[in-house]
A and B are shown apart, each in its own frame.
Chain A
Amino acid sequence: MYVAVKGGERAIENAHTLLAHERRGDPSVPELSLAQISQQLTLAVDRVMTEGSLYDRDLAALAIKQARGDLIEAIFLLRAFRATLPRFGATAPVDTAAMDIRRRISATFKDLPGGQVLGPTFDYTHRLLEPSTDAPVSEPATGAAYEGTTPRVTDLLANDDLIERDDNSASAIPGDLTREPLSFPAERDLRLQNLARGDEGFLLALGYSTQRGYGRTHPFAGEIRLGDVEVEFFAEDAGFAVPLGHITMTECQMINQFAGSATEAPKFTRGYGLAFGHCERKVMSMALVDRALRARELGEEQAAPAQDEEFVLSHSDNVQATGFVEHLKLPHYVDFQAELGLVRRLRAQFESAQDVGDVPVREAAE
């Protein structure tokens, strides 16, 4: 039962003013601009866009500033904003093979067509804090630009039939969990949408659990690529697919072992991760969990948490999780009063039972 709680308007108003004051911090320190957040806290912006499920750098920067750097709060703000705009339609599926590559690595093939490029990475840094200096940033080195194509690594193996091919024969319109509530069992299109919006920390922990033996899938990072892809949208009024511009994306292809079955020769299977911006940890975790959730389809034993689609998909969304966890701090006076009355009654019953029960015990002892 919900009972309205009255009162507190002044306190709430004052608390929000105080929040704005705290958010600004020491007024002698220059205020952070949205351009600074967008340009210098790029990975925070990328995470908020991916989990907020809205590609708009300026809005994500604003959300981060308004949320005082609380990224889950910022994701919440972005999700709420997205509900205010009409949807014009859906883009054609992006072609990540045609990406303008900014980073591309493979842990399985050292000599890839197109080569491996590290790009802007934390990998191989010493993880030592560097007290900031006013020294200008050095100009990046340049090399001879690669002119050829950069096929996905999974396409190379697929030519030998050593790795499964993804079936793209059906042109079915993918399910959309922002329009229809998720039901189980969920097919891979909905699982991938859920994981793409899912909390990075939750997916990281689940992915880690598969590596430690809870639903082991023997993964290799087949390829991780970061870069810009063009997006196109079929505009009904124009009558053709119009280019909309480019979006930065990170993609991860995990390659996993598969023992085969009576009807299928052993081959490698795949897990997939895709995110807006540069979210490498996210796409790797997503690919591990995507593969773990394919246990049902591949006829594998389903015993580990990461293989339990209802468990994973129902708890991956940090906005939903925040809503339910944090609602506990809202007034529950009436519920609590009811429980308090119940506990008092139960205690009274317990005590009277003790009194009755005590008598024979005493008699026996005497």
Chain B
Amino acid sequence: MNDQPQEADFRRGALAILVEGTKAELSSGLGEIGELPPFEEVRRPESGLVMVRGRAGGDGHPFNLGEATVSRTAIRLASGETGFGYVLGRDHERSRLIAICDALMQHDDYREPVEQHVLGPIRTRRSDEKNLLAQRTAATRVDFFTLVRGEDA
């Protein structure tokens, strides 16, 4: 915790995987860890919106593209670690499970089990899906040729 940017980067990295998890993946992964430490909800699960921004030309001034639904929850372990679950969609339970995982990832006793039982399987599944999509996309690669017509010949 003494290096805050590093801590935030570590949590962001884990959250980037957690938000891709399905409710079933998150809850069964947590189930395999066994007894969880006591915690309380400091922000009950709720749904809302975030305005998604793009940039003019992809790299220019930001503009508001449209909104997306988001759910969020915050929980605090009895030992003091606070976890946040922010995720696209209206599934409150998913955001609650993500918040629990985020808090556990900051706890020395649980970091490794969460990595192994929750993050690992999601990361593997997501990586397989991305690879398959990339491979299928690659099969549609196209080479266009420009042909010189023979007027001069």
Contacts and interface: CB of A to CB of B under 8 A. Distances in A.
Nearest to B90: A56
A270 B57 CA distance: 7
A88 B49 CA distance: 6
Interface in B65-116: 65-70, 72, 74, 84, 86-90
A157 to B, nearest CB: 12
A166 B50 contact: no
Given A90-B53, A242-B84, A233 B65 contact: no
A55 B66 contact: yes
Nearest to B135: A142
A142 to B, nearest CB: 4
B61 A189 contact: yes
Contact of A243 (B12, B51, B142): B12
B24 interface: no
Contacts of A190: 63
B45 to A, nearest CB: 13
B60 interface: yes
B59 interface: yes
B58 interface: yes
B47 interface: yes
Interface in A161-203: 165-168, 170, 172-178, 188-190, 192-193, 196-197
Contacts of B19: 243-245
B136 A140 contact: yes
B139 interface: yes
Which of the four size classes fits the interface of chain A?
Answer: 35 or more
Interface string B2-32: 0000001001100110011000000000000
B132 to A, nearest CB: 7
Given A146-B134, A155-B59, A94 B8 contact: no
A39 interface: no
Interface string A85-105: 111111111101100111101
A144 B66 contact: no
B135 A144 contact: yes
A174 B69 contact: no
Which of the four size classes fits the interface of chain B?
Answer: 35 or more
**Which interface residue of A53, A55, A105, A253 has the most chain B CB atoms within 10 A?**
A55
Interface string B31-52: 0000000000001000111111
B61 A174 contact: yes
A24 B91 CA distance: 28
Contacts of A192: 54, 56, 63, 65
Given A101-B137, A241-B12, A91 B50 contact: yes
Contact of A145 (B12, B66, B135, B145): B135
A144 B138 contact: yes
A103 B68 CA distance: 23
Nearest to B53: A93
Contacts of B61: 166-168, 170, 172, 174, 188-189
Interface string B134-153: 11111111111110000000
27 contacts: A85-B49, A87-B51, A88-B49, A91-B52, A91-B68, A93-B54, A93-B55, A102-B137, A110-B144, A116-B142, A116-B144, A117-B138, A119-B137, A143-B138, A143-B141, A145-B134, A146-B134, A170-B61, A193-B63, A233-B86, A235-B72, A238-B84, A242-B12, A243-B15, A244-B19, A246-B20, A276-B52
Interface of A: 49-50, 52-56, 58-59, 82, 85-94, 96-97, 100-103, 105, 110, 115-119, 140-146, 152, 154-155, 165-168, 170, 172-178, 188-190, 192-193, 196-197, 230-231, 233, 235, 237-247, 251, 253, 270, 272, 274-276
Interface of B: 8, 11-12, 15-16, 19-20, 43, 47-70, 72, 74, 84, 86-90, 130-146
Given A97-B59, A175-B64, A244-B68, 19 more contacts: A53-B66, A54-B68, A55-B68, A85-B47, A88-B48, A90-B52, A103-B140, A117-B140, A143-B138, A145-B131, A172-B61, A188-B56, A192-B65, A243-B12, A244-B19, A245-B87, A246-B20, A247-B52, A251-B58
